[in-house]
Amino acid sequence: MANVVLAPDRWAMVDFDPERVRAIASELADAAGLPADREVVIELNDTSPLGRYSLDSMDPIRVSMESGAFEDPKHPRQLSEGGAAGVLGRLFFRAADRLTDGFAAAPEDADLTPETGIAWEVHAAGRLARTGRQAQRQRWIYHFRNRHGFSDEGDAAFDRLWSADDLTWADIEALSASALAATPA
Amino acid sequence: MRKAHPVEDLARDERFVRVDIQDRISDPRSVKNSRMRTQARLTPERPDSADAARALMHGIFVGEIQALEGAGRTCWDFETGDGRDEAPFALKLDMARQCWDEARHCEISVKLSDWMGTEIGEFSEGAFLYAAACNPDPVLRLTGVNRALEGLAIDVFNTMREFGEIAGDPVLEFCEDWMLADEVTHVKMGSDWLRRLTADDPERRKDALEFQRIVDKLFSLGGFRSDEDDSPVKLARRFRELAGFDDAEIDEIADLASQALEEARTRQEAAAALASA
């Protein structure tokens, strides 16, 4: 089981239980296949209600997010365990990808284009869904269509990203490009 | 059937959870996020745009339910007549037509939610639209709901229509465009009935416009809706003109939105200081 570190280890502006967050993260790190000897740092910014999140470094694996990413949309400032698992699961699947040769050429998260970024998210979300956790397939196809256009070819690329278990970075780039190429001018 | 049905008694199933709007506006977390205002305009370039659009669409959906409930109540709550506590038959006919529109909007919104990957009740419900529809004076009710809140709906639908157009989403764009056309009619009904019923009663008109100002300011939502380009929802000046607003009235709403933004910032700073203490 990965060593999960919260930074900071408690929060003033949201009512999230740090132990629950740590437990969810440990479970998801295992599900995504992160090595047990890796340290995983979770940096949560409780001063922002927005929901942005990112994978910032690999050694240690450091992920950061604004508090809205973990928040229950129906109960302000309360933890959504399903939502937190969704965000952490997608981040950890992408971190596990980066540990493989097939993703050696992937740019840093900050340098991903919006299109390739969402394509990689879809690939992570599909694998997370197959572990029995948050799926929301229609939500993700809507995200994908907003970045790649609304076309049958784009939907076919989405299906491949969602259903595959072993794509490389080159595959993700190619699927994103094929969807974009089908977008009406 | 009783009259003046209170907001607490609205029928909802277990999927719906209500959150007080003041709780949202006073959230102490907002103040420290310096990026929030500059990235707030809802465009496909925003990293969170798809989820922001889903949340806004859900807000529209619950607003449509409450608009249907409110217009239905106005048909029922008042005796037919021309007295101050009565509603003319023609006004009730307009409200019945509005019910028909809002029912269609509910169905459109449910289908749009499916399209965008949103479950009914995925987000919280604010009951502010129906609360404005509980005013005991039919003129104030129409001014608060049809002119102020349906006016806000014009701004929101126009924003979503533009979002769908830029993103290339034909379903969203056309659905919003059709609903926007209805909203312009609803606001025009409010403007017309305000002028007609208060033509010989300047005090009542003053009260109605003051009620509208209160609602408009409250539902500028701390700057969420304003005349600024970086607001999530921008005042749709052209469509408001079509709905019977003159330039001075639109400028006044823009001023109220600026005041609401400043007041929200002050409240958030106070709440943040309290939370950090």
Question: Is any Cβ of chain A less than 8 angstroms from the Cβ of B114?
Answer: yes
Q: Are A133 and A99 in contact (CB under 8 A)?
A: no
Predicted confidence (pLDDT) per residue in A138-163, tens digit: 999 999 999 999 999 999 999 999 99
| B32/A120 Cα distance (integer angstroms) | 30
Give the confidence band of B276 by pLDDT, cuts at 50, 70, 90: low
Predicted confidence (pLDDT) per residue in B77-135, tens digit: 999 999 888 999 999 999 999 999 999 999 999 999 999 999 999 999 988 889 889 98
Residues B168, A136: C-beta atoms closer than 8 Å:
no
Looking up tokens 């990413």 gives A69
For range A19-33, the mean pLDDT: 96
Question: Is any Cβ of chain A less than 8 angstroms from the Cβ of B13?
Answer: no
Determine the length of chain A.
185
Token readout for A86 is: 């969704």
- Chain centre to alpha carbon of residue A110: 14
Query: Which residues of chain A lie closer than 8 angstroms to B116, CB-CB?
Result: 138-139, 142
Q: Give the gap in angstroms from C-alpha A80 to the nearest C-alpha of chain B.
A: 12
The pLDDT of residue A102 is 98
ipTM for this prediction:
0.90
> Which residue on chain B is closest to A71 by alpha carbon?
B123
pLDDT at B33 over 60: no
Q: What are phi and psi of B10, to 5 degrees?
A: -60, 140
Q: Are B71 and B102 in contact (CB under 8 A)?
A: yes
Q: What is the pTM of this model?
A: 0.88
Q: Which of A12, A138, A146 sits opposite B49 (nearest CB)?
A: A146
Q: Which of A49, A114, A141 sits opposite B117 (nearest CB)?
A: A141
Residue B246 CB-density burial (10 A; 0-12 exposed, 13-18 middle, 19+ buried)? exposed
What region, left, alpha or beta, does residue A8 occupy, with left being phi > 0 and alpha being psi -120 to 50 degrees?
beta
* Cβ contacts from A onto B, under 8 A: 87
The pLDDT of residue B36 is 43
Q: What are phi and psi of A53, to 5 degrees?
A: -150, 160
Query: Which residues of chain B lie closer than 8 angstroms to A46, CB-CB?
Result: 29
User: Which residues, 6+ apart, have CB-to-CB distance to B195 below 8 Å?
Assistant: none
Residues B115, A142: C-beta atoms closer than 8 Å:
yes
Query: Which residues of chain A lie closer than 8 angstroms to B32, CB-CB?
Result: 47-48
User: Which residues, 6+ apart, have CB-to-CB distance to A142 below 8 Å?
Assistant: B50, B54, B115, B116, B117
| A128/A32 Cα distance (integer angstroms) | 8
The pLDDT of residue B41 is 75
